[in-house]
Amino acid sequence: MMAFSQSSAAQSFTLANGKLGPVQVGKAIGKLPPRVAGLYDKYSLKKEEHEDMDGAWTEEYYQFVKAGKTIFKVYLEEGKVSAISLLPGSSFIKTPDGFYVGYPAQKLYQQKKMQWEYYLSEPEAFATSGHYTYGVAATDAKTNSMDKLIGFKPNAKVSIITYR
């Protein structure tokens, strides 16, 4: 579902039911328009080689750019969209609940009672609700003496939202 909320300032979009503009989770990427007004100016296919203890693998995704900044990525598995990740600069794209990248992390923590995962070795604390995973920089996490996440610093913001 692509939602357009026209105000005099800007359009807004909603990432809902696995769909953002012409992109749909679970579907082949197909032929996308070269640009969608208000959503992205261009996109390109990227491939990154990775290696870990399980061996080498290739990550394949489309990178969508607006005003020179990557604002979302679309990940592929077996030729189909497996996930859509909203990145900093995409605050005009919201979830159906109104959450967006840049949303106050402590407010999200209080409003959505989710089980947050926090590991000292990871760059982000994250929690999943339905198909949405929310990430906040681990450096913004507040923990107790047992390193259990108990909230976020006052100025912390949601840094990524992924729909799977």
pLDDT band at 50 (very low <50, low <70, confident <90, very high): confident
Contacts of 56 (CB under 8 A, 6+ apart): 49, 50
State residue 102's pLDDT score.
97
What is the average pLDDT across 30-37? Answer: 90
pLDDT band at 10 (very low <50, low <70, confident <90, very high): low
Q: Which 3 state secondary structure label does DSSP give 163?
A: strand
State residue 78's pLDDT score.
87
- Are 100 and 93 in contact by the 8 Å Cβ rule? The answer is yes
Higher pLDDT, 64 or 146: 64
pTM of the model as a whole: 0.88
Q: Is the pLDDT of residue 113 over 50?
A: yes
Query: Residue ranges per domain, the chain?
Result: 1-93, 95-164
**Dist CA 66 CA 68 (whole Å):** 5
Percent of residues, the chain, with pLDDT higher than 70: 94
What is the average pLDDT across 89-118? Answer: 94
